[in-house]
Amino acid sequence: MDLMTPVMFVVGLALLIGGAESLVRGAARLATAIGISPLIVGLTVVSFSTSSPELAVGLQSALAGQADIALGNVIGSNIFNILLILGLSALIAPLFVDQQLIRLDVPLMIGVSALPLILGLDGVIGRGDGLLLFAGIVAYIVFVVWQSRRESTQVQTEYAQEYCQEAVQARSARQLALNIALIVVGLGMLVLGSRWMLEGAVALARAFGLSELIIGLTIVSIGTSLPEIAASVVASLRGERDIAVGNIIGSNLFNILAILGITAAAAPGGVAVPAEALSFDIPVMIAVAVICLPIFFTGFIIERWEGALFLSYYIAYTAFLILSATSHAALPTFVNVMLFVAIPLTVLTLIASSLRALYAGRRKAAAL
């Protein structure tokens, strides 16, 4: 393996992270000038900006004829976002969940997560499918912005008090120019970084005998999700928990609808969907989305133990990928333990927690 291969990968990753940080900072400051709520900022501006590395990698891989990496990147990033990033954020501090997420965004994420499985049953997500997915993200953006404008006067007042100073700064001509410059520089770094990271990832995949799908599910998806880690962890530390949770849900929606949609529309032959993705990786992504609903619903809070549960499942998922890729002798035992011990115990725990939350809610309503 050429020495320049890992160097190119690391430099590309650094450019992706730096470019995403620049883009997020400029976009978030511009967004505050419009006066939309922190949750909507997390669901749209922050999540879409932190997903920009995935978009850059997806487009670059599609144009290079390596769409497997784009598909693996989207699936791997969505699994990574919830299990590792949300789990880590909840371990730092319990995350309060806005009821809008339970009513709209999480059910929508579950439905959207099933689309790659449905559209890919014929083995490819074609250009028509890609345009359909992209239309979905446009409709979502229009809806959440319209909904934000209809928020109560109290919510708008609280937001104005919290972000007033930054909004004033964003409106100044000098600050406006600086924010636009941050966005432009960030986009340039993303384009260059995605190209170098992609070339390095493909070379590494071939050197170690791994498929491009596996590289996309692991190395590339983790690398391009680093901006989400930074945004959500920092938001959790600062007490901006709406942004921490909204960033993850919005990123997952954007990954499938925008990134996969644009990649499928741009790739000459669409995005091929391997059989292993249909039989395992996409169903895992759907299951991870589904598990959010009962966890978010139990008291509208993600407790530390639930964050630890997310993290443990990400470790198990990564271990399965490694054991499977190397055809390790421990793979059958590992699968049996997960299927017949870990997963049933998790399901029973979530059912018990949901029933307890329903009972507590009814008692509270009866007391009122």
Is 182 within the bounds of a domain? yes
Q: What is the pLDDT of residues 25-38, one digit of tens each?
A: 776 676 666 666 66
Domain count, the chain: 1
List, for residues 95-131, the tens digit of each pLDDT value.
Answer: 888 777 788 889 999 999 999 999 999 989 999 999 9
CB-CB contact of 110 with 275 (8 Å): no
Region at 96 (left for phi over 0; alpha for psi -120 to 50; beta for the rest): beta
Locate 279 and state its tokens: 């039989």
Phi, psi of 225 (to 5 degrees): -90, 0
DSSP bridge pairs for 96: 301
Identify the top-confidence range among 82-96, 109-123, 347-361.
Answer: 109-123
Query: What CATH number has the domain bearing residue 49?
Result: 1.20.1420.30
Q: Range with the lowest mean pLDDT among 90-94, 96-100, 162-166?
A: 162-166
Per-residue pLDDT band at 241 (split at 50, 70, 90): low
Whether the Cβ atoms of residue 78 and residue 288 lie closer than 8 Å to each other: yes
96 assigned to some structural domain:
yes
Which residues does 323 contact at the CB level (< 8 Å), separation at least 6? 330, 331, 334
- Mean pLDDT across the chain: 79
Q: Say what the pLDDT of residue 102 is.
A: 80
- Give domain status of residue 297, yes or no: yes
In a domain, residue 343? The reply is no
**Structural domain includes residue 230:** yes
In a domain, 350, yes or no: no
Report the pLDDT value the prediction gives residue 92, as an integer from 0 to 100.
Answer: 84
Is residue 126 included in any domain, yes or no?
yes
- Rounded Cα–Cα distance for residues 137 and 150 (Å): 20
Q: What is the pLDDT of residues 181-235, one digit of tens each?
A: 877 787 778 767 767 776 777 777 777 777 766 776 777 777 767 667 766 776 6
Higher pLDDT, 264 or 153: 264
- Name the pLDDT band for 286 (thresholds 50, 70, 90): very high
Tell me the residue range of the domain where 34 lies: 4-328
The band of 312, judged by pLDDT with boundaries at 50, 70 and 90, is very high
Residue 93, in any domain of the structure: yes
